[in-house]
Chains A and B, each alone.
Chain A
Amino acid sequence: MSIKVQQERFSPGTETEAMHAAQLGIGAVVTFTGYVRDFNDGQPVHGLALEHYPGMTEKALAKIVSEAEQRWPLLNVRVLHRVGALEPGEPIVFVGTASAHRQAAFDACSFIMDYLKARAPFWKKERTPQGERWVEGKASDKAAEQRW
């Protein structure tokens, strides 16, 4: 299991490769990568600043991963989330889950992302042509958390 919160850019390909290194029992790896879009809520977005709660962030992510490990037979989990300044097109978040079979990996990956969006202390501030604005939480994210 690996959890990282970092400013540096990462390579989704390298992270994916690392998921099944030296684990021959892994038959399925599912990954999700979230990227910064150049458009949101009807306005162009020139960049993002990602704030977090150092200390709590790592604990919150570890708790989510541990809950996923209790629900599904996972052989590896990687969660990586960036903070600081990000430009459109850059990856923000990576979640990888590995299991012997695909369904556990698919479900656990989806679960971790849904919980992360609702429970991990990150906040996005967008730079738009009209100035900066905080991204507001969505009811659909709350609903996604509650389906588990």
Chain B
Amino acid sequence: MEKNLEEIFQSRIDREEKIEPKDWMPDDYRKTLIRQISQHAHSEIVGMLPEGNWITRAPTLKRKVGLMAKVQDEAGHGLYLYSAAETLGVDRDTLFEQLHSGKAKYSSIFNYPTVTWADIGAIGWLVDGAAIMNQVPLCRCSYGPYARAMVRVCKEESFHQRQGFEILLSLSQGSEEQKRMLQSAVDRWWWPSVMMFGPSDDDSPNSAKSMKWKIKRFSNDDLRQKFVDVCYEQAKVLNVTLPDPDIKWNEERGHYDFGLIDWEEFWQVIKGNGPCNKERLAARNKAWDEGAWVREAAMAHAAKRKERSNKKKVA
């Protein structure tokens, strides 16, 4: 019976039908999606911290408003993604608990610091740029609620990417100090962004299964290559040097070759040894713990109101 259900499920996937919350699905499919969607949601929420770091110091009112709107969008993405995860039977508080205890992961990129204003532009250009490459194929993910959430997320992300690029473009046309700030940010964000696509396909144990289930459509390495190709051209417009001496055009492959990724750094940051892992988790825990009385008060008030309206009905 089970085998038959799995076959039917797989044939629906193969026909590009969307799987919906009440449909039968293998446990492993559900678990894989919960892990991926919740990691994605956590990344949006933790990602608010490095960017939020510059809201009070944004250089102009226009930039302040743009940055606030962007960070607010990230919170919104977190909301739709937690809702998409809820359709798989796990509630937001449980997922928060996993984030706060350090059990759940989020994108490692947010464990790097935003040192200068140019970092806000670099996050938009590189980090959101890499995120879009990863996320556009997810709009066709086999799981309906996730695919639909991603359509909206991607629209907003591509706006953020343009906004980030535009911040950097202004700096590139500015003073020597601004150009220096720009180059420093690119130097620091380039490799972590290249790493955002995850381990090489040979070292990515879940990839094959996710491809078969059409949660994932392209390999990590293919997406990474596409990212490098696009960014190299854009870096010329910004007049910045990518911090990779080995990057060069390969006529035969029709792509840019690039240097070796420091996977040791990647795994260390995942293990909690990035420059800001502890701060990010501490900030999330503090917000949650200090907000406990607010959530309790809201629940208590709602319960009292319900009780009062029931009494009125009885009377």
Question: Is chain B found bound to chain A in the same assembly?
Answer: no
- Using CB atoms and an 8 Å cutoff, list the residues of chain B in contact with chain A: none
- Using CB atoms and an 8 Å cutoff, list the residues of chain A in contact with chain B: none
